[in-house]
Amino acid sequence: SVSVEEYEAQKYPMPLQAGIKEILEHYMFEKKINKSKLAEELELPNSTLSEILNGKKKINLSIARKLHQKLKIDGNFLLEVA
């Protein structure tokens, strides 16, 4: 019915766009690695990665480049969230 569609459109808008935190958490889950290992792969300090995952720090161009080159995250998306 129309009212159900309206409710779902308001409550669950599509498409849901994942943020950088969700992407990194999914990557760690899929690879079965922890934050320390991911920080090592990205050549980032653990504290920087933790701040990004906690939403305390946004990614900069240098970090965006590493995410794109090492994890193959779309460059356009990274520029949008940087």
pLDDT of residue 1: 64
CA 13 centroid distance within chain? 19
Q: What is the pLDDT of residues 14-51, one digit of tens each?
A: 666 788 999 999 999 999 999 999 999 999 999 999 99
Q: What is the pTM of this model?
A: 0.76
Cα-Cα-Cα-Cα torsion 10, 15, 21, 27, nearest 10 degrees, comes to 140
What is the rounded CA–CA span in Å between residue 72 and residue 14? 24
Q: In angstroms, how far is the first alpha carbon of the chain from the final one? A: 40
CA distances from 61 to 17, 18, 58 (A): 21, 19, 10
